Chains A and B, each alone.
Chain A
Amino acid sequence: NAGVTQTPKFQVLKTGQSMTLQCAQDMNHEYMSWYRQDPGMGLRLIHYSVGAGITDQGEVPNGYNVSRSTTEDFPLRLLSAAPSQTSVYFCASRLLGQGEQYFGPGTRLTVT
């Protein structure tokens, strides 16, 4: 099993550009989520999904879109990047009803 994979590892965007952060898992986990990590702020939940076709907002959803067309994939879209979105982004997955959550290696995004 590859676990949770994320691409790209690093990305630099200019303000106003759009991009998609990719996330995939091969563990057949129903639950997938996106977090951003900023110094002193911990891990803040952006969006999450409990299964294909179902998504919901977390603590900090503004400026981000998600979709879940398959169990395996959960991409995060930035429609118009802003400097405030400079952060490290983590995708995670777990089985529904069980707490252990597996994290990907992260994407470091810089918006100039």
Chain B
Amino acid sequence: QQQVKQSPQSLIVQKGGIPIINCAYENTAFDYFPWYQQFPGKGPALLIAIRPDVSEKKEGRFTISFNKSAKQFSLHIMDSQPGDSATYFCAASARHDKIIFGKGTRLHILP
């Protein structure tokens, strides 16, 4: 019940396309859903996060869509660029508790 399931494992998209990464969870106590971005040789860094009281959040070209009833959330990258090529992790946590990560998606944007 503590797991966060992430798909796909890897994704290749043409420049300008809209990659979509999906995550699902079981624990209804989770109330914080962040996405982290990791470049090779670096630690993950927070990209965008959402709480379950909203269904969508946008920051620049990055959008989280959240479906509370289905216990699913997804990351969309608009007008993707080669510089967006990285590994993306979804995660979930309950207040004051540890953050549980998905297994990650390796995204490659073709120039």
- The residues of A with any CB-CB pair to B shorter than 8 Å are 4, 33, 35, 40-45, 48, 50, 58, 90, 92, 96-97, 99-106
Contacts and interface: CB of A to CB of B under 8 A. Distances in A.
A45 B100 contact: yes
Given A33-B98, A48-B98, A58-B98, A103 B43 contact: yes
Given A42-B102, A45-B98, A58-B98, A100 B43 contact: no
A100 B49 contact: yes
Given A99-B93, A103-B44, A106-B43, A43 B98 contact: no
5 closest cross-chain pairs (CB), A and B: A103-B43, A42-B103, A99-B32, A43-B101, A42-B104
A105 B99 contact: no
A99 B45 CA distance: 12
B96 A40 contact: no
Nearest to A6: B43
A100 B98 CA distance: 11
A50 B102 CA distance: 22
A44 B101 CA distance: 7
Given A42-B89, A43-B44, A105-B42, A99 B98 contact: no
Given A103-B43, A104-B43, 19 more contacts: A4-B43, A35-B101, A42-B6, A42-B89, A42-B101, A42-B102, A42-B103, A43-B44, A43-B89, A43-B101, A43-B104, A45-B98, A45-B99, A45-B100, A58-B98, A90-B44, A99-B99, A102-B46, A103-B36
